[in-house]
Amino acid sequence: MTRSMVATVGADLLMEPLLHNPQLHVQVAESRSVHQRLVLAEVTRVGDLLDYNQRDWLDPLTLALRMGLSSPRIPRRVLQEVKAALTPAARAYVNRALREGAPRPSSTPGPPDLSIGPLPCQSQQTPHPFTASRLHELQLVSFQIAPRKYLYTLTLHTLHAHTLVSRPDTKWRDLLPPLEGEQPRWASLYSTLVPRPVGDISWRLLHGAVSTGVFLTRFTPIPDTCPFCNVRETLVHVYLECARWQPIFRLLTNILLCFWLHFSPHLFIYTLPIRGPTKSRDLLVNLLLALAKTAIYKTREGRLAREASCDCRAFFQSPVHSRIRAEFLWAASTNSLDAFEERWVLSGVLCSVTPSGSLHLTL
């Protein structure tokens, strides 16, 4: 069903919604922050933009105060776009209503005051003590200002509630049980240092959503043995036990010792928690762990594709060196070498900057 603005006449025009209205396109209101401020200011209809006492449109400064803004720039854009979207007949009606002092429509702040959140329900399945379902963590929030991430999580975990409630949050709880006080640190997988594709591989590994020979052999002709050592290729073997990865694990052990950390399979899989006093070190260590997982993943894919070079250590060191060089060149061009040293030159483990201002890689 479609509707034309021409069909909106009389008092109905004053009730015309400003938000989510394809017939009254207000581009600036598509911003989530502007949308929320208009809702909280109870400015959700065309009639809410009229000042019947002054017999004119609302002053941008007045609208800015109601929206909690210090500048009238955005309110002015809202007014301009609404006026431009009205047809000549609609503008004529608004002007006549202002001249005649028509009463303002009853104040209704657009949509009703709704809250959204999970409903308690009894599942027929026994919940896992570390369930993958996050419904128990979600609280009621106002529907008008609910973040998109909250709505996505609520919808996804509601649709798959019966499946997730009995599933652990990570397959590694059975393969590599966390130590006391240890848990998967999902928030540490992504940061300003970790590129999104690299973080995605770490996320998939923690979920156990990476291919192995044991998994693929069930529906493909691929053998279930490791392409490097012909041992049965399980998830644990691929990322922890294969002798092919031992050089990179020894390198990580030496690097982490310089940071006063002990490298272990638990740290490799569950990552390091990011704490305030050691934030720079923790972010850098998690980047190295993520790049090591990516090197293992890429070299395995390369061996299956019969590529010539599958040196895991080289695959690990190359992106580290490239990233450090790129960050150094940017810092040198912007005169921000101090910030570069605070982030990358920690104890001189990966690199150092000479007194003359040149880069020296130590990894």
| % of the chain at pLDDT higher than 90 | 11
Q: Which residues contact 193 (CB under 8 A, 6 or more apart)?
A: 283, 284, 286, 287, 343
Please give the pLDDT value at position 349: 87
Please give the pLDDT value at position 11: 63
Please give the pLDDT value at position 329: 93
SS3 state at 22: coil
Domain ranges for the chain, please list them.
Answer: 5-100, 115-169, 175-324
d(CA 213, CA 218): 9
pLDDT tens-digit profile of 200-220? 999 999 888 888 888 888 888
| Mean per-residue pLDDT, 288-316 | 85
Say yes or no to pLDDT of 102 above 70: no
Say yes or no to pLDDT of 350 above 60: yes
Do residues 103 and 118 touch, judged by C-beta distance below 8 A? no
Do residues 199 and 282 touch, judged by C-beta distance below 8 A? no
Confidence band, pLDDT 50/70/90 cuts, at residue 321: very high
Which among 298, 303, 346 has a CA at the least distance from the CA of 324? 346
d(CA 357, CA 363): 18
| Mean per-residue pLDDT, 134-158 | 86
Say yes or no to pLDDT of 1 above 60: no
d(CA 265, CA 268): 5
Q: Which residues contact 86 (CB under 8 A, 6 or more apart)?
A: 5, 24, 46, 94
SS3 state at 352: strand
Arithmetic mean of pLDDT over the chain: 83
pLDDT tens-digit profile of 209-258? 888 888 888 888 878 888 888 888 888 888 888 888 888 889 999 999 99
Say yes or no to pLDDT of 276 above 80: yes
Higher pLDDT, 36 or 180: 36
pLDDT tens-digit profile of 11-70? 677 888 888 887 777 888 888 888 888 888 888 888 888 888 888 889 999 999 988 998
**269: how many CB neighbours lie within 10 A of its CB?**
21
Confidence band, pLDDT 50/70/90 cuts, at residue 171: confident
Give the rounded distance of the alpha carbon of 173 from its chain centre: 25
Confidence band, pLDDT 50/70/90 cuts, at residue 96: confident
